Amino acid sequence: MAGLSDDQKHRIAAVLAAGPIIPVISLHRTADALPLADALLEAGIRVLEITLRTPQALPAIELLSKRLPAEVRVGAGTVTDPAAYRQAESAGARFVVSPGITPRLLDYGLTANAPLLPGVATVSELMLGYELGYRSFKFFPAAVSGGIKALQAFSGPFPDVSFCPTGGIRQNTACEYLALDNVLAVGGTWLTPESRVSAGDWAGIARLAKESLASCRGQADRP
Ligand code: 3PG
């Protein structure tokens, strides 16, 4: 079986490089999608992951992919099977993130329009993706799966693999992850706290994102 094409590899790596901080967003009201995205964009965020954990996710992806400027990449997260993958693509997702891997998901990602960022927590999972040509992975749940030390250890046998760790990352640890050579981006929910979203505190969310980007500037500007 043919593996992941170079084009697919570049496309998912480009999504991560456009981060480097990626809000992981679960929406409970479709009406929040645009003002939330505007606040994040104003702060300098360029990649948004909308998780398929609520019924509002697909309509929000559809809306945002039509309304936001082309340089903003809106993707779908928490995609766990090919059926959800197809729905995310139909809604306009520019990339797809899975929390873990299954053979069917990895296989679907090989020829999908929206490139896949498969989730792994162990070397053996990584190797299942690696043998199909995947070179960019979500490392999830990062903090409880070894965190920074695990990522440093992965770089020995897999120097050509890049990661986007998520799960347990907060503003005060994001930069430490981003400082690693094999980390292209970090993601998490700390940028869009549920309490601020439900209160419509868009200014507060923009401030949080600005602070996160500014505090990681050295790492964030890495070519
Ligand atoms: C994810 O899907 O990446 C996680 O839910 C993010 O985890 P966090 O809430 O610890 O940031």
Domain of residue 195 covers 6-217
Beta bridge partners of 48: 74
How many CA atoms within 13 Å lie on the side-chain side of 111? Answer: 6
Task: Quote the pLDDT of residue 22.
Answer: 98
**From the CB of 167, is ligand 1 less than 6 Å away?**
yes
Pocket test for ligand 1, best of 166, 169, 172, 195 (most atoms within 8 A of CB): 166
137 in a structural domain: yes
Write down the catalytic residue from 42, 62, 138, 211.
138
Domain annotation covers residue 222: no
- Spans of the chain below 70 pLDDT: 1, 218-223
CATH number reported for the structural domain that contains residue 158 in this entry:
3.20.20.70
Annotated active-site residue in 49, 62, 131, 176: 49
Question: Is 1 within a domain?
Answer: no
State the pTM of this model.
0.95
Which runs of consecutive H residues, i.e. helices, occur in 135-192?
147-154, 171-178
- Residue 223: inside a domain, yes or no? no
Element counts in the chain: helices (H) and strands (E): 11, 9
The tally of domains found in the chain comes to 1
Residue 20 lies in a domain: yes
